[in-house]
């Protein structure tokens, strides 16, 4: 694409696509934390100019995935136990109530979408596909979006992006995807039954379970020697 000849709408569309591509590269670990993002090399790899790439990085910084340092450029934010605590604490404040309210508001199309996304997530998790992260986000968002609470949905979506790397780390351990699958199905059934009390309880328990595992895992990672930490 010739960016000089592109309309403002086309530039924004390219920036949107770039943000999604770079975000997925960060979440999947292709772009590593605490290493300078070489914008020239990345722009060349993606066959774009640095202008829309920089716009995408600025937006990813707003989403909390990237940090910028004067005279040093952009870096992927490292993972930490403290950030996991904060992200999941915020999710626990929002998601159980949002899902409980949404289960009463969801129409037939939204209910069918939640079923379909969970089936796709189960298949991806069983096969160990990289689409697990996006599908996990999509499933949780499908439970909270019905009802038209736009601000809640926007905040929750941002928290899910920040939680994605922690979800992937949590699921690295063998068998955890089976536990998550059972919990997801229990949540979905209560949601489809339009049982807000059960939905609220099950969503909270699911998030608390993940956070307990992450506390232990990230604590152990922090105790490893620095030379081994990057390989974990």
Last residue in a domain, options 42, 76, 110: 76
Alpha helices, H only, 36-175: 39-46, 50-62, 81-105, 108-127, 132-144, 150-170
Q: 96 and 177: one domain?
A: yes
Query: In angstroms, rounded to a whole number, what is the distance separating the alpha carbons of residues 195 and 102?
Result: 10
Do you know the residue count of the chain?
Answer: 232
Last residue in a domain, options 35, 61, 76: 76
Tell me the per-residue pLDDT of 49-87, one tens digit each, with 9 for 90 and over: 888 888 889 988 887 888 888 878 899 888 888 889 999
Last residue in a domain, options 76, 93, 117: 76
CATH number of the domain that 191 lies in? 1.20.120.530
Q: 47 and 97: one domain?
A: no
pLDDT at position 35: 82
- DSSP structure class, residue 1: -
Q: 89 and 47: one domain?
A: no
State whether residue 12 is helix, strand or coil: helix
Asked if 141 and 156 count as a contact pair (C-beta separation under 8 A), the reply is: yes
- Residue 228 within a domain: no
Q: 104 and 211: one domain?
A: yes
User: What is the four-CA torsion angle of 86, 90, 92, 96, rounded to 10 degrees?
Assistant: -160
CATH number of the domain that 30 lies in? 1.10.10.10
Domain that holds residue 33: 8-76
pLDDT by 10s per residue, the chain, length 232: 334 344 443 445 677 888 889 988 887 778 888 788 998 999 999 999 888 888 889 988 887 888 888 878 899 888 888 889 999 999 999 999 999 999 999 999 999 999 999 999 999 988 888 788 889 999 999 999 998 889 999 999 889 988 888 887 777 766 677 888 999 999 999 999 999 999 999 999 999 999 998 888 787 555 444 443 322 2
Query: In angstroms, rounded to a whole number, what is the distance separating the alpha carbons of residues 200 and 107?
Result: 19
Q: 90 and 179: one domain?
A: yes
**What's the total number of domains in the chain?**
2
Buried b (16+ CB within 10 A) or exposed e, 95-127: bbbbbbbbbeebeeebbebbeebbebbbebbee
Q: 65 and 89: one domain?
A: no
Beta bridge partners of 76: 33, 66
Number of CB atoms found within 10 A of residue 154's CB: 10
- Residue 230 within a domain: no
Q: 119 and 213: one domain?
A: yes
- Residue 39 within a domain: yes
Query: In angstroms, rounded to a whole number, what is the distance separating the alpha carbons of residues 190 and 102?
Result: 12
Owner of token pair 């979800």: 167
Asked if 83 and 206 count as a contact pair (C-beta separation under 8 A), the reply is: no
- Residue 2 within a domain: no
pLDDT at position 183: 96
Q: 103 and 208: one domain?
A: yes
């Amino acid at each position: 694409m010739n960016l000089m000849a592109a309309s403002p709408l086309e530039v924004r569309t390219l920036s949107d696509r770039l943000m999604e591509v770079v975000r997925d590269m960060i979440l999947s670990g292709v772009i590593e934390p605490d290493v300078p993002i070489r914008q020239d090399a990345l722009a060349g790899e993606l066959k774009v100019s640095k202008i829309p790439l920089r716009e995408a990085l600025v937006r990813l910084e707003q989403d909390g995935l990237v940090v910028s340092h004067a005279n040093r450029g952009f870096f992927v934010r490292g993972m930490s136990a403290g950030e996991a605590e904060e992200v999941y604490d915020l999710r626990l404040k929002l998601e159980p109530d949002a899902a409980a309210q949404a289960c009463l508001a969801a129409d037939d199309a939204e209910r069918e979408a939640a079923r379909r996304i969970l089936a796709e997530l189960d298949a991806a998790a069983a096969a160990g596909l990289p689409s697990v992260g996006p599908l996990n986000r999509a499933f949780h968002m499908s439970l909270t979006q019905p009802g038209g609470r736009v601000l809640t949905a926007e905040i929750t979506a941002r928290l899910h992006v920040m939680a994605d790397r922690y979800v992937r780390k949590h699921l690295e351990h063998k068998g955890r995807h089976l536990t998550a699958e059972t919990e997801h199905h229990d949540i979905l059934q209560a949601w489809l039954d339009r049982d807000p009390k059960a939905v609220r309880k099950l969503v909270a328990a699911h998030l608390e379970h993940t956070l307990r595992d992450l506390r232990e895992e990230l604590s152990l990672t922090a105790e490893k020697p620095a030379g081994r930490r990057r390989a974990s």
